[in-house]
C-alpha cells in the first residue's frame, strides 16, 4: 500500500509541475533583519542536524526571522536552536497539509526554502502552493516549483552539509565551509543528569569511551558478540567504558554488558545527547549520533552501510574520525577483525590517558 501511495503521489506531482511552472528570478533573494523566511526539513533526526550549520549562517549574516517546518520525528532538534525563531510541526495527513499551507500563507514569508537534498513530493506541493515571492531549492526534477535554484554539487565528493550551504548563494551569503558545523546544545538539566549518572557509575574519572549500539534499523545492529569483543578491546586501556542504547535494543545491550559495565538509556533525545557531550570518544553505527559527535568535536569511529549508492557517507563534519564502510545492505558480514584493524591506530592517535 505504501508503494502505491508513493507512486500516485509522484504521478500527481509530475502533472502538477507541468501545469504550474513559476517564473524564474535570476537575482539573489535579498534578506535583512525585517525579513521572515520559512525553511522546510522533514524526515529524521540526522536530516535535521545537517541543516543547522546553514541555518546559523543565515541568521548571523542577515538577522532575519527564521521559521522551520519540521516533522514529528525531528522537530525537537530545532526547538531550542538559538538561531531559529519558531518551529512548526508538520504531521502527515491531508488535513495537516492544508492547515500548513494556510498557516504559511498567513505569515507572508519573504522566502520559502526547501532544505531537502532529494525530491519530496509533499514538500514540493507545499512550496508550490505557498505565496512567497522567493521559493528556493537545489536543482532537481522538481525545479518548476521554485523561483530560483542552484546546482546540486556532486554528492559523491561533497558532504550534505556543503550541499545545503550552496543555497546560501541564492541569498547572497558568503559562506566559508571551514566555519560550518552541526549545532546542538543539550539543556543544562540534561547535562547535569549525565554528570550525576557518570559520578554514580565510575569511582574514578577517566577517559570516557561511549559505545552506541543502536541505529535507525536492525540492519545496522553489529551483533552481540562483536560488541563484546569491542568492549574487551577498549578495556586494555586505562579508560571508562559506557554502553549507549535505545529502549528498543535494551536486551541486546544487557547481553553485551553482562553486568560488567554501565548501560545508559533514555527516552529523551536531549538526555542522550548530553551523555554524548560528556564522552571523550564515540563508537557508533548511527549517523544521527555521529552528527552529535561532530557538534561536540569528539573523535568518532563509525560503522556505515553504503548500499546501492555512490554518495559520500554522512561522516562527522568537524570531528576527527575513522570508519569502516560496507557496500552490503546490513552490517551482518562486517567482521570484528576488519573493524579493529582500523580502530586501533585511530584510537591510539586520539587517546589521552587521565
Note whether 117 and 232 are same-domain residues.
Answer: no
Does any domain span residue 205? yes
Does any domain span residue 332? yes
Please tell me the predicted confidence (pLDDT) of residue 177: 95
Note whether 66 and 153 are same-domain residues.
Answer: yes
Note whether 206 and 142 are same-domain residues.
Answer: no
- Determine the straight-line distance between the first and last CA of the chain, rounded to whole angstroms: 56
State the Cα–Cα distance between residues 39 and 29, nearest whole angstrom: 14
Domain end position, chosen among 179, 208, 223: 179
Domain end position, chosen among 151, 179, 207: 179
Note whether 258 and 316 are same-domain residues.
Answer: yes
| 3-class secondary-structure state, position 40 | strand
State the Cα–Cα distance between residues 206 and 202, nearest whole angstrom: 9
Tell me whether strands 111-114 and 321-326 are parallel, antiparallel or unpaired: unpaired
Note whether 25 and 168 are same-domain residues.
Answer: yes
Note whether 171 and 197 are same-domain residues.
Answer: no
**Is 128's pLDDT higher than 50?**
yes
| 3-class secondary-structure state, position 80 | coil
- Strand partners for 209: 241, 281
State the Cα–Cα distance between residues 50 and 27, nearest whole angstrom: 26
264 sits in which H/E element: strand 263-264
Please tell me the predicted confidence (pLDDT) of residue 259: 86
Note the pLDDT tens digit of each residue in 211-244.
Answer: 999 998 899 999 999 999 999 999 999 999 999 9
What separation in angstroms does the CA of 53 have from each of 46, 126, 217, 270? 13, 24, 26, 19
Residue 204 pLDDT class (50, 70, 90 cuts) = very high
Note whether 196 and 305 are same-domain residues.
Answer: yes
Note whether 94 and 76 are same-domain residues.
Answer: yes
**Is 140's pLDDT higher than 80?**
yes
Q: Under 8 Å CB-to-CB from 160, ≥6 apart: which residues?
A: 50, 117, 314
The total domain count for the chain is 2
Q: Under 8 Å CB-to-CB from 2, ≥6 apart: which residues?
A: none
State the Cα–Cα distance between residues 159 and 155, nearest whole angstrom: 7
The alpha carbon torsion through 166, 172, 173, 176 (nearest 10 deg) reads 60
Please tell me the predicted confidence (pLDDT) of residue 142: 82
Note the pLDDT tens digit of each residue in 276-312.
Answer: 999 999 999 999 999 999 999 999 999 999 999 999 9
Does any domain span residue 139? yes
| Closest alpha carbon to 351 in 240, 224, 213, 186 | 240
Please tell me the predicted confidence (pLDDT) of residue 9: 56
* 18, 160 contact by CB (below 8 A): no
Does any domain span residue 50? yes
Note whether 204 and 323 are same-domain residues.
Answer: yes
Note whether 262 and 340 are same-domain residues.
Answer: yes
Does any domain span residue 334? yes
Q: How far out from the chain centre does Cα 152 lie?
A: 19
Does any domain span residue 3? no
Note whether 171 and 248 are same-domain residues.
Answer: no
State the Cα–Cα distance between residues 192 and 67, nearest whole angstrom: 30
Note the pLDDT tens digit of each residue in 45-104.
Answer: 999 999 999 999 999 999 999 999 999 999 999 999 999 999 999 998 889 999 999 999
Q: How far out from the chain centre does Cα 351 lie?
A: 26
Note whether 200 and 132 are same-domain residues.
Answer: no
Does any domain span residue 4? no
DSSP string over 173-188? ----GGG--------H
pTM as predicted: 0.91
Residue 354 pLDDT class (50, 70, 90 cuts) = confident
Residue 343 lies in domain: 189-350
What separation in angstroms does the CA of 45 have from each of 51, 103, 292? 10, 24, 10
The CATH number of the domain holding residue 277 is: 3.40.50.2000
Domain end position, chosen among 156, 179, 202: 179
Does any domain span residue 129? yes
Amino acid at each position: 500500500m505504501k508503494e502505491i501511495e508513493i507512486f500516485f503521489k509522484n504521478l500527481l506531482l509530475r502533472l502538477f509541475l507541468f501545469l504550474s511552472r513559476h517564473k524564474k528570478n535570476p537575482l539573489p533573494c535579498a534578506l535583512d533583519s525585517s525579513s521572515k523566511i520559512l525553511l522546510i526539513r522533514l524526515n529524521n533526526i540526522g536530516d535535521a542536524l545537517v541543516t543547522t550549520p546553514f541555518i546559523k549562517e543565515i541568521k548571523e549574516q542577515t538577522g532575519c526571522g527564521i521559521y522551520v517546518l519540521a516533522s514529528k520525528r525531528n522537530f525537537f532538534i530545532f526547538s531550542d536552536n538559538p538561531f531559529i525563531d519558531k518551529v512548526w510541526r508538520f504531521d502527515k495527513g491531508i488535513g495537516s497539509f492544508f492547515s500548513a499551507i494556510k498557516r504559511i500563507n498567513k505569515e507572508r514569508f519573504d522566502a520559502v526554502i526547501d532544505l531537502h537534498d532529494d525530491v519530496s513530493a509533499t514538500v514540493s506541493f507545499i512550496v508550490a502552493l505557498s505565496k512567497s515571492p522567493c521559493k528556493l531549492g537545489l536543482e532537481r526534477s522538481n525545479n518548476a516549483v521554485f523561483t530560483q535554484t542552484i546546482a546540486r554539487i556532486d554528492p559523491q565528493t561533497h558532504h550534505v552539509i556543503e550541499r545545503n550551504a550552496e543555497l546560501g548563494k541564492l541569498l547572497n551569503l558568503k559562506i566559508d565551509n571551514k566555519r560550518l558545523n552541526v549545532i546542538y546544545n543539550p539543556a543544562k538539566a540534561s547535562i547535569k543528569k549525565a554528570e550525576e549518572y557518570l559520578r554514580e557509575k565510575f569511582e574514578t574519572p577517566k577517559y570516557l569511551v561511549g559505545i552506541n549500539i543502536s541505529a535507525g534499523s536492525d540492519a545496522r545492529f553489529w551483533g552481540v558478540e562483536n560488541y563484546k569483543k569491542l568492549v574487551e578491546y577498549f578495556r586494555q586501556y586505562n579508560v571508562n567504558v559506557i554502553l549507549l542504547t535505545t529502549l528498543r535494543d535494551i536486551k541486546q545491550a544487557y547481553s553485551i554488558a553482562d553486568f560488567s559495565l554501565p548501560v545508559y538509556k533514555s527516552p529523551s533525545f536531549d538526555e542522550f545527547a548530553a551523555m554524548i557531550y560528556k564522552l571523550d570518544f564515540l563508537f557508533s553505527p548511527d549517523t544521527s549520533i555521529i552528527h552529535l559527535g561532530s557538534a561536540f568535536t569528539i573523535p568518532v569511529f563509525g560503522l556505515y552501510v553504503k548500499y546501492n549508492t555512490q554518495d559520500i557517507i554522512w561522516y562527522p563534519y568537524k570531528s576527527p574520525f575513522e570508519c569502516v564502510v560496507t557496500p552490503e545492505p546490513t552490517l551482518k558480514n562486517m567482521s570484528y577483525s576488519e573493524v579493529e584493524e582500523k580502530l586501533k591506530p585511530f584510537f591510539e592517535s586520539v587517546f589521552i590517558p587521565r
